[in-house]
Structure 1
Amino acid sequence: MEIKSYQTQAEDFVEHYLLADPFLPYTSVVAGIFLCKLVYDLTELFSSIHIKSYSALTKIKRIEWNNRGISTVHAIFISFMALYFVFFSDLFSDQRSLESLTVFRSSPLSNFGLGVSVGYFLADLGMIFWLYPSLGGSEYIFHHCLSGTAVAYSLFSGEAQLYTYMVLISEVTTPEINLRWYLDIAGLKRSKAYLINGIAIFFAWLTARILLFIYMFYHVYIHYDQVVQMHTFGYLLVFVVPIALSVMNLMWFGKIVKGLKKTLEKTQ
């Protein structure tokens, strides 16, 4: 009876506090940070047991190895969430008859996804600052601060979540980028897997970080009458963040094209 009482109290706590709408954004952010720590430890444990080359890496390389495990898991999670809300869910559909405008719609699930992402950006920024510049230079800090601010604002204000998820689809390229780093560390730059990975990065980047951004700007254009009703800060974020990220994406895409060209030349 006593165990059942504790179980009931725990269920009530989860339902009325952790998963209650007023607390869900904060709970999801904390969950995101906790999950980053969990994935880091599991990556370290798995790699030390099953990957022979892991123990031969320097300490900083092992930390980066584990850190990329975090970013890969986050990317897979948030990519699925973003693809679902943008293309499959009717939450942001124009055909759905709702009192609220598209730019003001949200749900507990959409809030949870954004909260986990905010937790990731906070955890990753903490590691970047802690080991600066070993895990990334100023461009990574700028990217994470910009993206994290936009995601956090969308989470806590409930504004422009559709556009936030559109931008977050770009995380679909992260696993390929991380795999390329792992292949490089393993000395497989001349392998067929490295070439296939380069081609996959090219098409994924072109689709998710260039063409999809063009679609997002078009969507903003045809829904501008709704966008102008947002708060000033949110209105600015809808334009400033995607434009800034688009410039960075184009710059990185140029490097991807050059790298793929060199790899193809070496295989001929």
Structure 2
Amino acid sequence: MDLFSQLILVISVTSFLSFQWLFHRVSPWVSTRVSPGFLRLADKQKVEWNSRTVSTLHALVVGLFCLYILLFDDAINEDPVWGDPTLVKINVGVTTGYLISDLLLIFYYWKAIGDKFFVVHHLAALYAYYYVLGHGMLPYFANFRLLAEFSTPCVNQRWFFEVLGYSKSSKPNIANGMAMAIVFFLVRIAVMPLYYSRMWSVYGTEAFYRVPPEGRAAWIISSICLDVMNVMWMHKIARGCYKVMRSARRHKVGTQENGKAE
């Protein structure tokens, strides 16, 4: 194992241990001081709260790094299949540590946060990232996938509002719901044509055939699996957003008819 591969291994292990520490120690300590409502939650809800807090932190760190790479890393933009994967490997190393940490927590606290779709999502991502970390292939596409993390904070905030007892028709909930639907659509659905057009542009090239068959399978299969789940989640988010806005509109009309201000 070369020196850089050892560094990536250290980054992944450090990431795993850091997210475990954030889940078990930092999130409970900070949450009790930031939100008094945290202490009133049931044990299962506290587990999910801590899990979502860590998830939000990971999303912000990795998402911003991903955006920086997409904007300024000329090597992977010019050669999306075999461009210099140094920065991408670092980012993917952090995400790999997080995914393994989250999988461990999901299995350990299955009754609280167990979800088969998240297990499939994490395993599909880890399967694809193995080829990035182990062989340095497909850095552009691996990094592009991390754009999806920008939707995570709004998704988690929706759950925080719900568990704290905020009305679905409250202004903070409606604002977050709209932001969640818009951001989720932009970073997970609207980018699909760009992602697959870039994939098609390299299909059949020499660089493409240098990727071993199992690597191509991991790339294509994991991409399809992740996007099928993204479409399913987008459908649920859109329906939920529509119901909340419709309920808020009814409430507003009812208030006006009664002649009372909210």
Normalising by the residue count of structure 1, what TM-score does the alignment of the two structures yield?
A: 0.87
2:95 is the counterpart of 1:120: no
The structure with more helix, counted as a fraction of residues:
2
Who is 1:23 aligned against? 6
- The answer as to whether partners of 2:85 and 2:137 remain within 8 angstroms in 1 is no
Residue number in structure 2 paired with 1:205? 184
- Unpaired segments ≥5 residues, structure 1: 1-16, 95-100
Distance (Å, rounded) in 2 between the aligned partners of 1:136 and 1:252? 17
Deviation at 1:153, TM superposition (A): 2.4
Q: What is the aligned partner in structure 1 of residue 22 from structure 2?
A: 39
Match of 1:13 in 2: none
Letter in 2 for 1:210: I
Post-superposition CA distance 1:15-47 (Å, at most 9, x none): xx9x93131121111111122023222111011
- Alpha-carbon distance between aligned partners in 2 of 1:167 and 1:117, rounded to the nearest angstrom: 11
Question: Corresponding residue for 2:44?
Answer: 60
The answer to whether the 8 Å contact 1:220/1:227 transfers is: no
Question: Distance in 2 between the 1:179 and 1:209 partners?
Answer: 18
Q: 2:122 maps to which residue?
A: 144
Which deviations, in whole Å up to 9, do the C-alpha atoms of 1:127-172 show, x marking residues without a partner? 0011114213211111111112212321121111110111111111
2:132 aligned with 1:154:
yes
Residues in 2 aligned to 1:203 and 1:108: alpha-carbon distance in whole angstroms: 32
Q: Is 1:190 the counterpart of 2:169 in the alignment?
A: yes
Indicate the larger mover: 191-200 or 146-155: 146-155
Percent identity, aligned pairs only, is 25
Task: Indicate the larger mover: 177-186 or 101-110.
Answer: 101-110
For residue 125 of structure 1, report the CA deviation from its aligned partner. 0.2
Q: Give the superposition deviation at 1:87.
A: 2.6
Q: Which moved more, 1:128-137 or 1:245-254?
A: 128-137
1-side partners of 2:214 and 2:161: how far apart?
A: 42
What's the RMSD between the two structures over aligned residues? 1.7
2:69 is aligned to 85
The secondary structure found in structure 2 opposite 1:250 is helix
CA distance in 2, matches of 1:102, 1:57: 46
Contact 2:77–2:83 under 8 Å retained in 1 = no
